[in-house]
């Protein structure tokens, strides 16, 4: 869709269509309580901000805004695989193609709802046929809902999905993640070694890349620097991933600033590793994440 084609989805005072970075079309959403920015490329939410607060989401200043490449930050949609895959790009193809905007509506509670559809792509041709829809609801919180359906007759569809959320923090040394004590996890930094979380508060002082299995529905990020508490509430997702690349990994990422690890943390929700989802023909899975913040 061109920017002119997308203009029919505008809602005066609520949804505007603009040319974003790299000439890619983006949507700017305004509500009484917040604002958001969404690119059609990857149906990628790159910003969400409550009135009077810093941005909830982190997007790298070095990110590439270019067809065929993922945006670094915000909320990438990870599907149909998570992590590396032989002969393929990391984290699947959903974040690398332009999704179709189907609908924008004002909600009764002075918010905005947007609906996107995966268009089908060359990369998905080798997979059983499926449909993918993504609902974004902007109010005083950000609600994201990924709906995947197996449309292949007589064939199962096995997939991983994840909403790979990057959060803005004031200083990573003043940040702790709560709600995962006692949960088993795979430590990717330690060769995927299975471990159990023993800490009430997870703090970052080196590279962290952990897949928490059978994780609780709610995780909490406490940021004493910004005086903010972020709630990550999920349904339809059994895993929670916590990631910060730290110094060496940041320097290896061409689309990530060398010092940006100090101002972000990822707390991701989905179904990965042992929690892969297998859908029978006609079956659907719904991954929903609610992101909200309060003062500490």
Backbone Cα Rg of the chain: 18
- Residue 268 annotated in active site: yes
- Tell me, rounded to whole angstroms, the distance of Cα 55 from its chain centroid: 15
Specify the residue for token string 């002075």.
110
Query: Helix or strand or coil: residue 227?
Result: coil
Reported as type and span, the H/E element at residue 209 is strand 208-212
Question: What is the spatial distance between Cα 47 and Cα 31, in angstroms, rounded to a whole number?
Answer: 14
Give the pair of three-digit tokens for residue 231: 């709630």
Q: At residue 280, what are phi and psi to the nearest 5 degrees?
A: -75, 165
Residue 69 a catalytic site member: no
Q: Which token pair is 281?
A: 């023909």
Are the CB atoms for 246 and 226 separated by under 8 Å? no
237 φ, ψ (degrees, to nearest 5): -135, 125
Catalytic residue, candidates 44, 91, 164, 275: 164
CB 143 within 8 A of CB 111: no
DSSP H stretches of helix in the chain: 3-6, 246-252
Q: What amino acid positions are annotated as catalytic residues?
A: 164, 268
């Amino acid at each position: 869709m061109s920017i002119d084609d997308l203009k029919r989805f505008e809602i005066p005072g609520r949804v505007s269509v603009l040319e974003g970075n790299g000439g890619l079309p983006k949507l700017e959403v305004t509500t009484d309580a917040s604002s958001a920015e969404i690119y059609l490329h990857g149906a990628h939410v790159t910003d969400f901000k409550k009135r009077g607060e810093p941005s909830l989401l982190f997007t790298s200043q070095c990110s590439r805004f270019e067809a065929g490449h993922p945006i670094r930050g915000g909320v990438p949609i990870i599907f149909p695989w998570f992590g590396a895959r032989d002969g393929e790009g990391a984290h699947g193809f959903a974040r690398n193609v332009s999704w179709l905007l189907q609908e924008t509506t004002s909600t009764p509670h002075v918010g905005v709802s947007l609906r996107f559809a995966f268009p089908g792509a060359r990369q998905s041709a080798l997979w059983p046929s499926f449909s993918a829809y993504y609902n974004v609801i902007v109010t005083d919180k950000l609600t994201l809902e990924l709906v995947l359906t197996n449309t292949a007759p007589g064939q199962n569809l096995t997939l991983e999905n994840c909403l790979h959320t990057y959060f803005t923090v004031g200083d990573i040394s003043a940040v702790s993640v709560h709600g995962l004590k006692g949960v088993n996890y795979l430590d990717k930094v330690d060769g995927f070694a299975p471990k159990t979380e023993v800490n009430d508060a997870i703090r970052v002082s080196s590279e962290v890349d952990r897949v928490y299995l059978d994780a609780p529905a709610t995780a909490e990020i406490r940021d004493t620097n910004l005086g903010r508490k972020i709630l990550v509430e999920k349904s339809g997702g059994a895993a929670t991933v916590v990631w910060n690349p730290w110094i060496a990994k940041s320097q290896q990422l061409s689309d990530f600033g060398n010092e940006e690890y100090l101002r972000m943390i990822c707390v991701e929700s989905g179904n990965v590793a042992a929690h892969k989802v297998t859908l029978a023909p006609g079956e659907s899975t719904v991954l929903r994440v609610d992101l909200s913040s309060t003062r500490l």
